[in-house]
Structure 1
C-alpha cells in the first residue's frame, strides 16, 4: 500500500504511479510551493469532500499532523484506506490513538482554516486482506456533522465512470516527487482509468500485492508520471462527479508500467456506507 508519512503512503498524490504498498507515516515538511508531479494545487473550496486525517500525537504538529487522506460520503461518514488505521501506519494500536481527527475545509495544512472534528468510531472492512490489499477501506464516524455540500456521491456497480479511458482526478497532500517532498497544500492530478487486463498484467502477484478486479481498479499513465504517492492513501479518485476509488497501493510512484491501484468504491460493503 502507499506508505503514510513516516513514510507511509496515504495523503496527497504525487504525479507518479502508486507507491509501494505501505502505510503512510508523517512526512518531512515540504515547501508551500511544491507541486505534485504531473499535478497542481487546487482549492479545497472547490472539492470540500477531500479531507485530511490527523493525529498530532503520532505525527507532530507540522502539516496539522496529517498522515492520510479521506473523502466525505455522508454528513458524519468519511471513507479512507483500511491500512491507514493499522499499527504499521499509526505506530501504535488504533485504540491508543486518542486524538484521531478529520480536517475539513483546510487546503493549506500550515493554517488553522476549516474545521477539525474528532473521530468517534472506526469500522474496518471485515473483508480487508492486508496481504493482497483487497478490500482496503475503513469508515470513520465523525463526532459532529459536516454540511451536506461536503458529501460526494459514490459510483455504483456498472457506473460509466469506471470505463477504461475515463479521465479522473486524484487528490491529496502527499509526496509530490516520490522522494519525500510532502505538500503543504492540497494537490490534484489527472489520470486515466485503466483496464483490468492492464492492471492484472502490472500486478500478477508479488510482495506489493495482487490486483483483484472485483475489489480494485487502477489508474494512471502506463508511461509513468501522474500518480498518487506516499501520504495520499485513503484519498479520493473522482470521475464524472462521483467517487470511484480510494488511494490504496502500488509499486513506487509514477513508474512506467506500475499504475496506482485504488479500492473500488462499488465493492465497498453496505455496512461501511453512510446511512441514508
Structure 2
C-alpha cells in the first residue's frame, strides 16, 4: 500500500483496505493484524491509561461471533449502540456481538448481546466523505447506563481547546499490538482550520471534528473505530479515521455527532 493512504481505525476495515486497495484510515494501510504471543491483536489508544466500564458504563465493543474485538461503540439507549458506519458496512446483524461491562477482553465479565438490526447512514460511502455513523439495535436492554449525545444545541462543546475523553481497546501505537484492557486518554479538540491544514479537502467541518495535541503522542488508533469522543458529559464524536496515530500536527478525525442527532434519535 502507498504510504499516502489513510487507514480505517477498525481491524476489519484494515483487512478490507489491504484486500481492495481502498482508502482506510491511519498512516500506512495495514493488512489484517497478526496475533502476538499472548493472543492479542493490534493495539490500544496511543498514550492511554487503564479505564473501567464501571466509570464509563456506556462504552462497549463490537466483536465477531467468535469473540474477536474489532471496533468500539457507545450505548445511547438501553438497547441502542452508536458506532461507525465503516465498522458495520456489509455486516449482517446476526454476525455482530456487542460486549458491555467488560474491561478485560480475556475475561467473561459483563454482557454479550446479539444485534437484531444495523442502521447505517444512507449517505455513507467513505470515511473521508462523512456520514460515518451507524446505530445497532440489541436483542435486549442492557443494565449499563447510557450516555446522552450532542445535538445542534451543543455547539459550545465543539469549541477548539475543549477537553475531551477518548476510550477504546485499539492500538497503543501505529502498527503495534492490541490492548487487552480498556484504555482512556484526554485530548483537546482542534480548530477546524487546524484540521483542514492537516487533511486538506478530506476534512469536512460539517461532518467531522478533530482532536489531538499539536505535539502528538495521544490519539485513537486502529481497533478504536466506532468508539466515543466525549465532552461535557455527552457523546460528541465517533472515532473514524486519521493519518497515522498520534503523529505531531495530525489529529484524529471523528464523526461530528451533533450533525446526525436527528437521524440517531429516529433510530431510538
**Partner Cα distance (1:203, 1:261) in 2:** 10
Is 1:28 aligned to residue 28 of structure 2? no
Q: 1:131 to 1:46 in 2, by over 3 A?
A: closer
Of 208, 217, 222, the residue aligned with 1:230 is 222
Is 1:76 aligned to residue 79 of structure 2? yes
Q: 1:131 to 1:235 in 2, by over 3 A?
A: closer
Q: 1:179 to 1:255 in 2, by over 3 A?
A: same
**Partner Cα distance (2:31, 2:205) in 1:** 24
C-alpha contact (below 8 Å) 1:30/1:181 kept by paired residues = no
- Residue 54 of structure 2 aligns to a residue whose secondary structure is helix
Aligned to 1:243: 235
C-alpha contact (below 8 Å) 1:24/1:231 kept by paired residues = no
Supply the RMSD in Å over aligned alpha carbons. 2.5
C-alpha contact (below 8 Å) 1:25/1:231 kept by paired residues = no
Aligned to 2:52: 43
**How far apart are residue 85 of structure 1 and its match?**
1.4
C-alpha contact (below 8 Å) 1:4/1:23 kept by paired residues = no
- CA shift digits 1:73-123 (9 cap, x unpaired): 11111010000113xxxxxx423x633110000110001100000000001
Count of residues in Structure 1 that have an aligned counterpart in Structure 2: 249
Q: 1:256 to 1:108 in 2, by over 3 A?
A: same
Of 183, 189, 202, the residue aligned with 1:187 is 183
Aligned to 1:94: 91
**How far apart are residue 3 of structure 1 and its match?**
3.5
**Partner Cα distance (1:27, 1:139) in 2:** 29
TM-score, scaled to structure 2: 0.84
Q: 1:72 to 1:27 in 2, by over 3 A?
A: farther
Aligned to 1:12: none
**How far apart are residue 269 of structure 1 and its match?**
5.1
Q: 1:23 to 1:245 in 2, by over 3 A?
A: farther
Structure with bigger RCO (C-alpha 8 Å, 6+ apart): 1
Q: 1:229 to 1:55 in 2, by over 3 A?
A: same
- Residue 197 of structure 2 aligns to a residue whose secondary structure is helix
C-alpha contact (below 8 Å) 1:28/1:180 kept by paired residues = no
Q: 1:252-267 maps to which residues of 2 (within 5 A)? A: 252-267=244-259
Q: 1:1-276 maps to which residues of 2 (within 5 A)? A: 1-5=7-11, 8=14, 19-20=26-27, 28-29=35-36, 36-56=45-65, 61=66, 64-86=67-89, 93-95=90-92, 98-130=94-126, 132-147=128-143, 149-159=144-154, 160-205=156-201, 210-268=202-260, 270-273=262-265
**Partner Cα distance (1:245, 1:98) in 2:** 26
C-alpha contact (below 8 Å) 1:7/1:231 kept by paired residues = no
C-alpha contact (below 8 Å) 2:85/2:134 kept by paired residues = yes
**Partner Cα distance (1:84, 1:234) in 2:** 7
C-alpha contact (below 8 Å) 2:44/2:220 kept by paired residues = no
Point out where structure 2 has 5 or more consecutive residues left out of the alignment.
1-6, 16-24
Point out where structure 1 has 5 or more consecutive residues left out of the alignment.
10-17, 87-92
**Partner Cα distance (2:37, 2:73) in 1:** 20
**How far apart are residue 140 of structure 1 and its match?**
0.4
